[in-house]
Amino acid sequence: MAVLVGKKAPLFTSKAVINGGEIVNDFSLDKFLGKKTIVLFFYPKDFTFVCPTELFAFQEKIEEFKSRNVELIACSTDSEQSHWGWLQVEKENGGIKGVTYPILADIDKTISMNYDVLFGDYEVDENESLSATGPMIAFRALFIIDKNGIVQHQLVNHLPLGRNVDEAIRMVDALHHHEENGEVCPANWKQGDEAMNESHESVADYLSKI
């Protein structure tokens, strides 16, 4: 598993479903560079069980992301037609109708592979037959990418383990606080808490205040 933190986020242009039902052919990451922080999260499959709980959890917080000038983007290895179909199904019937942020169609798996979150590898055996060592779907991964296109945070969960959306927001807040104030954020820091000035304040000084 590659660690992308501190590196340029892999760029892409992909088909996607936006605004809950509009299919576009050229959704790109680079159009947000210099303008917005990006939260890019991967999920395993459409029409499953844990995945819709996560997609709705992100949707419930969409205004909080927007208020922080964050572009929220989802991605799975399903097709844009699959995404579109799932978006037409009501929540009580297992669908994700009401989700409005973009959902990328990584059907050729190149985005998942470039972010190194694809569960499985392709292998060629002695008979030159191609096989897969896993289900070839994305892990539950999340990347926070700053306006310069640098990955600042990376989280990867196995398939059964759903994510905490509030933690993603907390990490965005920590990144923005550091960008705006130059201070570093200690354990369990949240917006409004005191941060640390690593140039002038010792850890002991900081800890004496809490």
Domains and CATH numbers, the chain: 13-162 (3.40.30.10), 164-210 (no CATH)
Distance, CA of 178 to CA of 195 (rounded, Å): 9
The answer to whether 139 touches 117, Cβ cutoff 8 Å, is yes
Identify the DSSP state of 147: T
- Is residue 203 over pLDDT 70? no
Q: What Å distances lie between residue 20 and 49, 59, 115, 166, CA to CA?
A: 19, 11, 25, 23
Query: Residue 76's beta-bridge partner residues?
Result: 105
- Is residue 23 over pLDDT 80? yes
pLDDT at 128: 82
pLDDT at 127: 82
Strand, coil or helix: what is 186?
A: coil
Provide the CB-side half-sphere exposure for 39 (13 A, CA): 25
pLDDT at 142: 98
Q: Which residues are marked as active site?
A: 51
What's the average model confidence in pLDDT over 105-120? 96
- Is residue 113 over pLDDT 60? yes
